[in-house]
């Protein structure tokens, strides 16, 4: 099921907008490997603007993975084994170690991650329900899991900050340094990574789990009336059986 299809003309227009960050989850691996014009033009539109292209290639390996990376795909978050992680890093890719609400099989990957590979790794939460985010945290929850699994806290924090920024071309953040954007967390331990305070662009926005600023209550107009579905009635669940169907 597709949420949206970006055809060549449309994705070129999107890529020229100031809010265009990059191309996420290039899942059409066969299209890239076979030179499909539509798939390749999407990647080219991002690369021509020096924007990152995020990958999604759980079954890709060997020569196919080399071609996929050569096409400009920078990351993959679908690694489930150490061998796949090493293979991607050996090709110059970054690996985003992900945990979702259903896919919770990345702990062995973290447990076997050695320090010299962590520099090419980051974290992400993929398909995680909001209730899980409230209970388990977001990237801070991934940090806690990594440290508990044996990753040194400094390596884990680097994966969540500097590595992520460098991978995605965010040169203005990811490290506390002059001239960089001051997005900061204040922590009192390196176990659960629950922030005591949060700064965004140098401005204190939250303390002890509560906002200390007035968040805008007005919803952007472009979000209104965007989901339009027909009324659901009992007849909506009628199913017309065809001749020869079992049962």
pLDDT attached to residue 15? 65
State pLDDT tens for residues 28-72.
Answer: 999 999 999 989 988 998 898 888 999 999 989 999 999 999 999
- Give CA–CA dist 131/153, Å, rounded: 26
For the chain, counts of helices (H) and of strands (E): 11, 9
Helix (H, G, I), strand (E, B), or coil: what is residue 169?
Answer: coil
Nearest-5° angle of CA 133, CA 136, CA 137? Answer: 60
pLDDT attached to residue 80? 82
Q: Within its chain, how far is the Cα of 25 from the centroid?
A: 8
pLDDT band at 17 (very low <50, low <70, confident <90, very high): confident
Q: Measuring CA to CA, which residue among 19, 181, 22, 33 is closest to residue 94?
A: 22
pLDDT band at 10 (very low <50, low <70, confident <90, very high): low
CA distances from 166 to 26, 161, 231 (A): 19, 9, 47
Listed in sequence order, the residues at least 6 apart from 97 whose beta carbon sits closer than 8 Å to its beta carbon are 77, 79, 106, 109, 110, 113, 121, 122, 123, 124, 142, 146, 159
State pLDDT tens for residues 157-187.
Answer: 999 999 999 999 898 999 889 999 999 999 9
For residue 191, pLDDT beyond 60: yes
Q: 116 — phi, psi (to 5°)?
A: -70, -15
Mean per-residue pLDDT of the chain: 86
Q: Within its chain, how far is the Cα of 33 from the centroid?
A: 22
pLDDT attached to residue 226? 85
For residue 11, pLDDT beyond 70: no
CA distances from 151 to 73, 128, 156, 159 (A): 27, 23, 6, 10
Q: What 8-state DSSP symbol labels residue 50?
A: T
Of all residues in the chain, the percent with pLDDT exceeding 70 is 88
pLDDT band at 2 (very low <50, low <70, confident <90, very high): very low
- Give CA–CA dist 120/36, Å, rounded: 29
**Domain-by-domain residue ranges, the chain?**
19-73
State pLDDT tens for residues 114-138.
Answer: 777 899 999 988 888 888 888 888 8
pLDDT attached to residue 7? 63
For residue 3, pLDDT beyond 60: no
pLDDT attached to residue 163? 95
| Structure tokens, 123 | 């974290």
For residue 216, pLDDT beyond 60: yes
β-partners of residue 76 are: 55, 95
pLDDT attached to residue 165? 94
Q: What share of the chain is helix, strand, coil (3-state, %, to 5)?
A: 35, 15, 50
pLDDT attached to residue 8? 58
pLDDT attached to residue 57? 93
Helix (H) or strand (E) holding 25: strand 23-26
């Amino acid at each position: 099921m597709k949420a949206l299809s970006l055809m060549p003309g449309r994705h070129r227009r999107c890529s020229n907008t100031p809010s265009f960050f990059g191309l996420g989850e290039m899942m059409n691996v066969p299209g890239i490997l076979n030179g499909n014009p539509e798939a390749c033009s999407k990647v080219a539109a991002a690369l021509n603007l020096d924007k990152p292209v995020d990958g999604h290639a759980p079954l890709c390996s060997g020569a196919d993975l080399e071609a996929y990376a050569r096409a400009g795909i920078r990351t993959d978050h679908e690694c489930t084994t150490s061998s796949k992680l090493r293979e991607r890093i050996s090709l110059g890719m970054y690996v985003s170690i992900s945990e979702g609400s259903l896919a919770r099989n990345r702990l062995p990957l973290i447990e076997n991650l050695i320090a010299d590979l962590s520099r090419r790794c980051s974290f992400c939460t993929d398909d995680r329900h909001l209730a899980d985010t409230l209970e388990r945290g977001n990237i801070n929850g991934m940090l806690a899991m990594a440290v508990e699994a044996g990753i040194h806290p400094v390596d884990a924090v680097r994966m969540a900050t500097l590595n992520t920024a460098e991978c995605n071309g965010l040169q203005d953040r990811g490290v506390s340094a002059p001239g960089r954007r001051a997005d900061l967390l204040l922590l009192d331990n390196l176990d659960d990574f629950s922030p005591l305070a949060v700064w965004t662009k140098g401005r204190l926005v939250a303390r002890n789990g509560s906002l200390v600023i007035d968040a805008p209550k007005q919803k952007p107009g472009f979000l209104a009336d965007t989901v339009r579905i027909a009324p659901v009635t009992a007849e909506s669940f009628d199913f017309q059986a065809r001749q020869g169907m079992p049962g």
